[in-house]
Every structure is written in C-alpha cells, then in structure tokens.
Amino acid sequence: MSILDLGCGTESLGIAVSELLDGEVSIHGLDLSDMQLGYAADKGKKMFHL
C-alpha cells in the first residue's frame, strides 16, 4: 500500500500510520517547507533505522 501525505510537516501522522500497519506501507510526504521535510527525513531514519 502507498500513501501520499500532502502537507506532511514532520511526518508524525505518516509514522503513526506506518506503525499501525506494521510497516507494510510506503509513505510519501510532500511539504512546502524544506526544514519540515528535513525533520521528517531525520525522524524516519531514526524510527526505521535507514
């Protein structure tokens, strides 16, 4: 399953959804703020050991 999260911010919602689905999902986040996307990428790397 793939999910597109528009206006994802720091991707808190996408990470929560991924946890609910036991990681069996691909989340693609888009945001206008490069800073928010940077936080989201860092958070995802820490959470999923990427």
Would you give per-residue pLDDT tens digits along the chain (50 residues)?
A: 999 999 999 999 988 998 899 878 888 999 999 999 999 999 888 887 76
Residues 6 or more apart whose CB falls under 8 angstroms from that of 35 comprise none
pTM given for the model: 0.72
What's the structural domain count of the chain? 1
Cβ atoms < 10 Å from Cβ of 13: 15
For residues 49 and 9, what is the distance between their CA atoms, to the nearest angstrom?
Answer: 20
pLDDT value, residue 50: 64
Q: Which domain holds residue 12?
A: 2-48
